[in-house]
Amino acid sequence: MSEVAKKCAELIYKSNSIAVLSGAGMSTNAGIPDFRGPNGIYTKANIKNPERIFDLDYFYRDPSLFYKFHKKFLEYITKAEPTFTHKFLVQLEKEGKLKGIVTQNIDSLHQKAGSEKIYEIHGGCWKNYCTKCKKEYSQEEILEKMNIEIIPKCDNCGGVIKPDIVFFGEPVKYLTESEVLMKNSDLVLVLGSSLAVIPAAMLPSLTRGKIIVVNKGEVSEWYLPPEKVALIVNEELDNFFTQVAKEYETLKEG
Ligand code: CNA
């Protein structure tokens, strides 16, 4: 058991109001690649400026770039199951310690694991709508359409359908609610995020307590006030939280 895992467990044990900011690193063990990790979608994409995939102006000009990526992404998502860390967060919520999760993820794995208070700040793939007439479509309907054509089109008006995920150039969702959650927290866990995307990366700094970052790989510390940072752990999430959970149970037993 590492000393760092012990310290993390102690901070969780002492906390009464935990908030989580989760990122794509939460779901890599479930088989969904992240963006900026070594096997990430941006890292591996063989295209110039891979950020264009999620650029709103580019989407309206040529939705096919996004949809080629999205087809694969939906295949990953439909097969994925929640990880140990997703389940540990459910336990903390059931115990009344964890007050909510702000997730940058669009894969719904927190919901699948059983977490209830979730703010999908970048939206989710489960909802889709026509960019012209706003008719809504489920993920299953989109998958069916994508078996027939690269770019799914609306049955009503022929407009291009877009998933309800936040592209660059669109405002994030639930920002006020996420800010309130962070402000009321006495501990923030930042899990599997490079903290490269704002405003999400700015949220942990709002806590009145401490911040623990667990991310295997580089993290931007630009928006992390040093006086609030208790730990920055460069480790794989499920390995680390398996240790934390053991230590946490020992602390509960007294
Ligand atoms: P990111 O910038 O790709 O960062 C992820 C970080 O997690 C990287 O630093 C990785 O090295 C690290 N990492 C990968 N696997 C693990 C692991 N098992 N344990 C610990 N650390 C790990 O992703 P962010 O979430 O910071 O960026 C925000 C984007 C990514 C959001 O807009 C998301 O919508 C988007 N995204 C979401 C998903 C998903 O829903 N699963 C997948 C890919 C991208």
pLDDT tens digit string along 172-223? 999 999 999 999 999 999 999 999 999 999 999 999 999 999 999 999 999 9
d(CA 104, CA 120): 6
Please provide residue 118's backbone torsions phi and psi, each rounded to the nearest 5 degrees: -130, 130
Mean pLDDT confidence for 110-139: 97
d(CA 241, CA 86): 10
Q: What is the pLDDT of residue 240?
A: 98
d(CA 216, CA 233): 8
- Of 24-28, 41-45, 89-93, 208-212, least confident by mean pLDDT is 41-45
Between 37 and 97, name the one with better pLDDT: 97
Mean pLDDT confidence for 103-120: 98
Q: In what order do the strands lie in the sheet with 210-214?
A: 118-120, 98-103, 18-22, 187-191, 210-214, 229-233
In the beta sheet, which residues pair with residue 128? 137, 163
Contact 89, 110 (CB under 8 A): yes
**In testing the pocket of ligand 1, which one of 20, 22, 34, 112 has its CB within 8 Å of the most ligand atoms?**
34
d(CA 14, CA 17): 9
Contacts of 15 (CB under 8 A, 6+ apart): 97, 186, 187, 209
CATH 3.30.1600.10 domain range(s) in the chain: 33-79+124-165
The pTM of the full predicted model, rounded to 2 decimals, is 0.95
Contact 239, 216 (CB under 8 A): no
Mean pLDDT confidence for 57-72: 93
Question: Mean of the per-residue pLDDT values for the chain?
Answer: 95
Q: What is the pLDDT of residue 96?
A: 98
Domain 1-30+83-122+172-254, CATH homologous superfamily name and number? TPP-binding domain (3.40.50.1220)
Burial of residue 26 (CB within 10 Å: 0-12, 13-18, 19+) is: buried
pLDDT at residue 1 is higher than 70: no
State the complex-level ipTM: 0.97
User: Would you call 122 a catalytic residue per the annotation?
Assistant: yes
Among the listed residues 70, 86, 110, 122, the single catalytic one is: 122
Q: Which helix (H) or strand (E) holds 21?
A: strand 18-22
CATH 3.40.50.1220 domain range(s) in the chain: 1-30+83-122+172-254
**May I ask the CATH architecture of the domain 33-79+124-165?**
2-Layer Sandwich (3.30)
167: left (phi over 0), alpha (psi -120 to 50) or beta: beta
d(CA 66, CA 55): 9
pLDDT at residue 247 is higher than 90: yes
Ligand 1 lining (C-beta closer than 6 Å): 23-25, 27-29, 32, 34-37, 40, 104-107, 122, 192-194, 196-197, 215-218, 236-237
pLDDT at residue 11 is higher than 70: yes
d(CA 239, CA 253): 22
Q: What spatial distance separates the first Cα and last Cα of the chain, rounded to whole Å?
A: 18
Q: What is the pLDDT of residue 51?
A: 83
Q: Which helix (H) or strand (E) holds 61?
A: helix 56-61
pLDDT tens for 140-149 read 999 999 999 9
Mean pLDDT confidence for 43-69: 87
Mean pLDDT confidence for 147-170: 96
Contact 22, 215 (CB under 8 A): no
